[in-house]
Amino acid sequence: MEVHDGAELCFPQLLNTSCRKPVISWSEVVFLRFLLSSVSVLTVALNLLVIISISHFRQLNKPTNLLLLSLSVSDFIVGLVFMPGEILRKTSCWFLGDRMCSLYKYIITLTTSASVGNMVLISVDRYVAICHPLHYPTRVTVRRVKLCNFLCWFSSILYRSLLIKNIVFQKLNYMSCYGECVFLVDSITGVIDVFVSFIIPVTVIIVLYVRVFVVAVSQARAMRSHITAVTLQHSVTVTSRKSELKAARTLGILIAVFLMCFCPFYCVSLAGSNLLNTSYGILVLCLYCFNPCLNPLIYALFYNWFRRAVKLIVTLQILQPGSCEANIL
CATH number at residue 165: 1.20.1070.10
Cα distance between residue 122 and residue 127, in whole Å: 9
Residue 276 domain flag = yes
Burial of 22 (0-12, 13-18, 19+ CB in 10 A): middle
- Answer whether residue 173 is part of any domain: yes
Higher pLDDT, 15 or 249: 249
Calculate the average pLDDT of the chain: 79
Quick one: pLDDT at residue 65?
92
Question: Mean pLDDT highest for which of 56-65, 220-229, 235-244, 296-305?
Answer: 56-65
What pLDDT does 6 receive? 45
Cα 329 to Cα 48, 56, 304, distances in angstroms: 20, 14, 7
Residue range of the domain that includes 78:
25-223+237-320
- Is residue 63 included in any domain, yes or no? yes
Distance separating alpha carbons of residues 117 and 43, to the nearest angstrom: 20
Would you state the pLDDT for residue 171?
52
For residue 326, name the pLDDT band (cuts at 50, 70, 90). Answer: confident
In this prediction the pTM is 0.83
Question: Would you say residue 52 lies in a domain?
Answer: yes
- Report yes or no: 125 and 67 within 8 Å, Cβ to Cβ: yes
Q: With respect to residue 152, please indicate whether it lies within any of the assigned structural domains.
A: yes
**How many structural domains compose the chain?**
1
Specify if 136 maps to a domain: yes
Residue 43's nearest CA partner among 197, 250, 278, 261 is 261
Residue 78, domain member (yes or no): yes
Radius of gyration of the chain (CA): 23
pLDDT band at 1 (very low <50, low <70, confident <90, very high): very low
- Output the pLDDT for position 5: 47
Q: Determine, yes or no, domain membership for 216.
A: yes
